[in-house]
Structure formats: C-alpha cells, structure tokens
Structure 1
Amino acid sequence: MKGTIKIFVIFSYLILSFLSNNLIVAQNNVSNQQLMADFSLFYEYQKNKDYASAIPYGWKVINTDPTNFVKYKLFPKMEEALWYIHDSTKIDEAAKKKIADTLLYLYDKAIKYDSVSAGYYLAKKAFVMGNWENENPAKVIATYEEAIKKDSTLPSFYKDQLGLLYAKNATDENDYKLKALELYSKLSELEPNNELWVQRIEGLAENIEQLVDITKKAWDLDKNNLEKAWKYASICLQAKELNKALEPLEFLVSKAPKVINYWKQLANTYDKLDMNDKALQAYKTLIELQPDNRDNYVNIALVYKKIDQLAVARTYLQKAMNISPDWDYPYVIEAQLYEQAARACDFDFMAKCVYLLAVNTYKKAASLNGPFASQAAERVKALANSIPTKEDYFFRQLKSGDTIKIEGPCYSWIQRSVIVP
C-alpha cells in the first residue's frame, strides 16, 4: 500500500510539472506574440513619422525584452522619434528636459542590448549630457572617452566635442590640454586637409612658443611614444626652434630607422644648423633607403657645395641627372659650382672660361623649360661681362670652334672644356 501511494505522488508531481511547463510555454508564446504586435505597430507608426503614436509601443518592447528586435534597428528608430520631438516640435523647456532624460535612459538600454554599437550610443549619451543636461563636464568627458575607447571609428564630430571640452576645462591641475593636443593631432593625421584641426591645435596655446612647451611636456610624460615625439618635433620646426627639434628627431630615427620622413626632417635640420657632417650622414642614409629619389642626391650635393667640396657635389648632381635627365635644377646647381670656383680664384682668362662653362650649363638648364628656366636665363645675362671677350680670344690666337681645356690649380677638379663661340 505504501509503495502504491509513493508511485501516485511521483506520478502526480510529473503531471503537475508537465502542466506547469506547458502553461509557461503558452504564456511565453502569448508574450512573444504581443511583443511582435507592439513592434509592428511601433514600426508602422515610426515609418510614417507618427512619432507620438510610435513611442509608447516602442517602450513596451524595450521595457519587456528588446533582444530579438535589435536587428530591426529598434533603438535607432526610437532615438530618431525622440530627437524629432525634441528638436522639431513646439514643446516647452520642461518637456525638452523630459525628452533629454528619456534619451539617456534609452541609450543605457541600447548599450545593454546592442553592445556592438555601444560606442555610438555612449557618444550620443555624452552629447545629450553635455549639451542638453548641463551635466558635470568631468562626467561628460569620461563618457566621451569611453565611447571612443569602444569605437575609435566614431565620426570626428564627437571627437571634436571631446576636444572642446578638454580645452574649455583645462587647468594646471589636470592634463586636459595635453589630451586635447593628442586628440587633435590624431585627427589632423587622419584628415590632413581639414584645417579645423590645425586651428584647434593652435587655439590650445596663446602662442607657438607655448605650444612647443605643451608638446614637450606631453612627450616628457610618455617618452617612448613616437607620435608625441613627432608632434613635438613638428611644432618645434614650425616655431623655427631647430635646436629643440633635434632631440625628438634623433629619437625618432633611432626607434624607427626606416621611416623616410623622420630622416628627411633630421637631415634638413642638421643642414640648416650647419651641422654639415651629420647632415651628410643623414642624407647618405636617405640615399640608402631611397636610391632612386633624385632629391636626396641634390640635397647632399648642396651640403658639399656649402663646404666647398665642389667635385663631390657635382658627382651627386650627376646621379640626380641620371635619374631625371629632364630636371633642370641639378644643372642650375652645377653652374653655381663653376661660378663659386671662379669667384674663389683670380679673375684671369681661365676664370672667364670657367664662367663661360657656367653660362653654357645655365643655358642647358634653360633649354629644359622647367621651373628654374627663367632663373637660369637671368644668370646667363648676369654673367655676360664675366666671360671671355673677342679680344681675349684674338690675343691668344683662338678662333671660333677651338676647344679650351679648363685647367690650373684652382680648377683641376673640373676636367671640362669650352668651345670658342
């Protein structure tokens, strides 16, 4: 008898469990059907821009279980409806405040259920907090920072909003100015043609000297950061603080020895500071990295010209000519080498012949019709009184077509000839 009662109790429990489970399933089905109906009504009203009618149904779905409706853009559509009522309808400030509060609640829900787009919703939440709610700036800044951390591809509008907050609330007690500089520097790199970011950077400092100090401080606080070193170097170059630019540029080439731009800026800086040995070494490194870049050969030639190593300078110019035979600039510089040599020696017949060689070289440059053609033509005119005269040729029994070899202790390196015109 006891065994029979026990079996009956177990059987009864199983029946009750079965009935209970079926009741839950039935209730869930009814709930899902109701959610579908509510969403359908929300969707239709929203599509027809009847936002006042759409919003209550949207909240029913959101406050019950929006999980299955995220893919149908439930939250963006709800956001659109609320923004429209806030911005495009005639409501008083109290009503606008309620809409702003409601949007913050909506964004919190969206962040929870639509994690893929969390960065976007955080950015919109920060905007509402800062522009409609007058929330504490520190909270707004933190929300923007979290948004960008979750989604670095956010539109630059939101990053600019954060940058403006940094700038407005910067003090000696926080690092907001440094953060603003870093943010706008990155925006400037992403959008190099957008002058707004340059203006924002310039606006962070009272003058360029202060900007140099700001960027230096930013790099000092993060000494291994290449981006901050480059920003400091760039600002130093803009401010013509060449000596200060050396430290970050030398750091950059040591950490990234194959980045062309770092070497170009360093070589150019050495050159301008007349640190000729280092400039030559830097240009030689550039030639190793870019053996087909004509500019590198011309730049190193100009350094050798500056230190009166004219033969070496011409060798590098010839390499530039081999790369770009139609480029007039190397010919202009070669002609300048001959002028420089002639000026360093006595003004005699051979010096006049060297000037003639310079004139012939300028004429070659002018014939190429490049950007330096007019400059070359002007030098031809300027040297008209420095070349041999008919009398010079007559007294030396030289006639038209004769060859004159350039020679003498001043000109042994030239190893060229000129033809009597």
Structure 2
Amino acid sequence: MKNRRAYLRRLLFGWALTLTAFTLTAKAQPAEAQEKPSQQEIAIHYSLYYEEYKNGNYEAALPNLRWILKNAPGFGRNDDRNFERAVEVYEKLAEAAESEALRRAYLDSALIMLDTAVPTIQGVDGNIDPYAWLIKKGNFILQHRNDLPDLVDSVAVIYRQAWELKPKETPLYYIEYIIRDYISKGDKAAAVAFMEEVEQHRADDPEVMNRLTEFRGALFTSPEERITFLEQQLEKKPDDLALISELFDLYRQAGYRDKMYEMGEKLQQMQPTARIYRMLGKMYLEDGNTEEAIRLYEQSLQLEGGRDHAREVYYNIGIAHQQEGRFSRARTAFRQALEADPNYGMALIAIGDLYVQAVQNCGTFEREDRAVYWLATDYYERARARDPQVANIATQRINSIARFYPSAEDKFFKNWNPGDSYKVDYGCYTWINETTTVR
C-alpha cells in the first residue's frame, strides 16, 4: 500500500511538471469556445522557448515549450521536432535532478511526451513517423533502465509494435530483442511463432535468416546463464580471444549494448576485423552516433576482406551523412556504393530520397521545386529496372510523389515541353547539378 501511494504521488508530480492544463485533444471544450492564438503569439512563444533550449537553459525553456505543445505542436516545419525537444528537455532536467523522486518525475514527463507525440502531431496533420517514436520510447526506457525498472518489461512489447508497423525495415537488433524477451520469459512457443513471422517478411535478408537459425539452435538454452558463466571465465582469462568473441555475440543477442561496445573495443585491439568494425559501425549508427559510425565503417574498408562489403558500407556511410543533413556528402557515399555494385537498388533509391528530402527542406514548393521530383523519379525508375528486389519500394516511391509533379499549367507558364532536358542547379539545389527530362 505504501509503495502504491508513493507511485501515485510520483505520477501526479510528473503530470504537474507537464502542465495539468496541457490538453492533447479538442474534447475539453467545443472548438468554437477555444480562442486560437495568433501566428505572432505562436512565433513569440516558439522563439522564447527555442532560445532557452538552444542555450541549454532547459528549465527556463519549459513554460513556453509547454505552451507551444498545447497550442501549436507542429509549429516550425509541421513536424515532431517540438516533441523531440521536449523529451530532451525533460531528460536533461532528470540528469540534473537532486533527488531520485524528482529524477523519476522528469523521466515520467518525458515518457508522456513519447506517448502523446504521435496522436498530437497526427491530430494537426503534421509529419511524424509512429514507428520511429515507438523505437525512441523503447530505447529511452532501456537507456534509463536503472531509474525505470518497472518499465523494462514493456520494452519488448513496444519494439513488437514497431515491428508490426515496418517489418521490412526494423533493424535486426530489435528483432533479436523481441525473441530474447520471449525466451527469457519461458514462452518458447511465442518465440518460435515470432521467428516464423520474421521469416515471412525477411526471407531475402541473409543476416536475419542466419540469426534465426542460430536462435533456433540455441532456443532451449539460457543465454543469461551462458553470459554469467563466460563472464566468470573471462575474469580468470582476460585475454582469451574466444571468450571475448562469444561474449560480444551474446551481448549483441541479449541487447546489452554498453557491454557489447566494451567487448567490441577489446576485439578491435586484439584482433581487428572488418566484420567487427561493420557491426560496431551499425550499432553506433542505430544509436545516432553518426560520426563514430562513419569512422568505423571507413576503417572496415581498410581491413582484409573489408571491400567485399563495400556497397553496404558506403550505403550506411551515406545514411549517416544524410541524418546529419549533409546531402552532398551522402550522395557521394551512395555513388560509391553504386561503383561497388551498379545494380544496388537501395543506393539508387537513397539518392532519389535525398532529392525528395531536399524539396521538403527548401520549403517553397514552387514550380522549380516540384520539378526536382522528376529527377527523384529518374532514380527510382533506375532502381526498379536494375534491382528486382527493390522494385516494389521504387514503385511506391514513384506513386507517392507523382501527384506533386508540375501541373500542365506550370509547364505552360515556364515553357517546359515534355521530353525537354531540365537541369536542377539553382537556389538550394545548386549542389544537385543534374539533368532530368520534363515529363
């Protein structure tokens, strides 16, 4: 009873921090009874919070940030960045909290942001990826597992929800985590059923299929017991390469990322291989440490056998640059992937995606902006023609942007005739410097 009262007090405090009056739906009162703030008022609150946030004054940023989340959650670029910043603000405040109760309250407030971002932004027709936010929530809980021990068991369920949204795109790490969770709870039937589901969606992914085979072979053993045993052995033989290698793989399977990094560093020192560098690079990329990921991927190319995987390595380097907004460098990396394999459809799709994202970032959406979609389509069509494995993805991409092509009126106004060459090298597209065809 005492623990329940403490939990309720903490929960109430967490809600107070996120502003009791903060309402994420329009059910509180009729729409006509709500007084909508002006654009000027919204811009003022946004500017006030962002200035404090940018300078690391997180507590000072909170009042205006809360106001924005309540009154104009998608303000700026009509996306989820205000919620992302809210999560970061509460996380930073938790790190600086002087008591365990206050730290937990701030973390609970961050969790509320993680739960409400998707319905709120969707409610204002903003741009948000529900899959990405589920992954964020699961990672957040694991990152703060010591302060959120009661929520750790929910992580696998969260990752499973993300999997169901994007089974083709979910990284292997999260698939492994779900399987490990079933096994650790003794639910072998559920583990087998999920692995069968994974196989239906990812039968063409050798890495995933190899891991499923390993899981099936070890399904009736306890990885935790194996890890404990190996750790005890490693204390006696700290330089045993075989023990370190097996622990590295077991940590990877169990989702112990910090320990995996530790073992990975030892392997780099004792027996550096291109595979280890690639695996660590992938982890750093998934965790958002793009600079370290790029460094590791580039080093993998210098090791024996490293260039055998050049197309995947350069592709992932391109993804890392793209995440940092370095579009030109990202394209260079994707082109290097194509040099390694001219029929690598995902690299062609990635360049098309870069150009689509460039249009979204420029933001004016004038005739010249929409003409860039012709060039993106060129790459999607090449991907579809060269690589049957990505044909469906390429077709989906084409269908999604076709409606944004310049209209007949646009082409008449600009004197653009179908079949004419058209070069994209102006304004914020100067870096592209490529020629397409008027459609």
Q: TM-score, normalised by structure 2?
A: 0.48
The higher relative CO (CA closer than 8 Å, separation ≥ 6) is in 2
Structure 1 or 2, whichever has the larger Rg, is 1
Q: TM-score, normalised by structure 1?
A: 0.50
